[in-house]
Amino acid sequence: MDQIVNVNEFQELARQALPKMYYDYYSGAAEDKHTLKENVEAFSRIMFRPRVLVDVSKIDMSTRILGYPISAPIMIAPTGNHMLAHPQGETVTAKAAAACNTIMIVSCMSSCTLEEVALSCNAVRFLQIYVFERRDVTAQVVKRAEKAGYKAIVLTVDVPKLGRREADIKNKMIPPKLRNFEGLTKVQPSEGSGVEAFASRALDASLNWKDIEWLRSITKLPILIKGILTPEDALKAVEAGVDGIVVSNHGGRQLDYSPATITVLEEVVHVVKGRIPVLLDGGVRRGTDVFKALALGAQAVLIGRPIVYGLAAKGEDGVKKVIEMLKNEFELTMALSGCPTIGDITRNHVRTEDERLKSNL
């Protein structure tokens, strides 16, 4: 792995390692894939305003999310079906997260059961969930998460219906059995049915803001909402009493031509006014991206596809390498920008495209 110099290089290694159907499943997105590309490219339009002659001989990247300490503001996003990338699936990803002292958000669509992931290593982890038409299924999963020591629930809210992922349709991708829902036929893919048919049968398209109250009534765990892209919804989330927001467009897999998450982060942060943490998901491929997200008000970023690519290419070591590379780049960016601690990163350290255009008028 010595010849790998950045996170992007893991994508090609994963492409070589995986069957085409599985690589397409992980790398694919909705329709024209505009949002997928824009998630990454939007970062390149944000420039730095580095400060010099600051003592950066010691850099401290550590931070806390919901009170839990992590080594850097880089967390693992929920992604499903890790056994398609590695025979031991999410247990390997979890061990890498623990070794890197960060938080993994485990997907309820994981290949391993949430209990298996919990037993694999001692670390702080959150559980991502969907609300199914059968509410008792969701309630059961939440109770199991509490019992297994998960520290928060991350509710994904941008999938009333599944986005049109054309590569999966073309490949006739059939999702594997979901071990978190064994014995529950309504939330299992049926023989020969694709991802889309399964989602339309299992997920609850009637989910709305009132249901947040229901979720709060069945758990004492903190609840974060993942899938917010507008200040209007961010305000509603705060009013609904959630404990955190994840600005996310589902990695471009849902509504194509939704905005790149980094472009809407600041307006979400503006209405939240520091009352709850705001995390950014989508497009982070460099340590410079992590810095830009924090400068625009995020408490941390979530890493999705690069983690799966690292897992597919090199197993646990690959996942660790992805996280460590991002941490090393982030540490260097902090030093070169004149920021010895996370608290020193401010809005004045970056300049967005809008600001540059206005200054040229």
Q: 105: which DSSP letter?
A: E
Q: H helices within the chain, ranges in order? A: 9-17, 20-27, 34-41, 90-99, 114-120, 135-147, 166-171, 195-202, 210-218, 231-239, 261-272, 287-295, 305-337, 353-360
Q: Which two tokens stand for residue 2?
A: 């010595």
**Tokens 């597919």 map to which residue?**
312
**Cβ atoms of residues 63 and 300 within 8 Å:** yes
Annotated binding site for FMN: 78-80, 107, 128, 130, 156, 226, 248, 281-285, 304-305
Per residue, what are the HEC states of 18-53?
CCHHHHHHHHCCCCCCHHHHHHHHHHHHCEECCCCC
Q: Would residue 34 show up in a list of annotated catalytic residues for this protein?
A: no
Residues annotated in a binding site: 25, 78-80, 107, 128, 130, 156, 165, 226, 248, 250, 253, 281-285, 304-305
What is the C-alpha to C-alpha distance for residues 39 and 250, in angstroms, rounded to an integer? 10
Whether the Cβ atoms of residue 284 and residue 264 lie closer than 8 Å to each other = no
Question: Residue 80 has what DSSP assignment?
Answer: S
Binding site members for glyoxylate: 25, 165, 250, 253
Which residue type sits at 310?
G
- Check 34, 82, 86, 250 and give the catalytic one: 250
d(CA 170, CA 320): 33
Q: Using an 8 Å Cβ cutoff, are 294 and 342 in contact?
A: yes
The residues assigned a catalytic role are 250
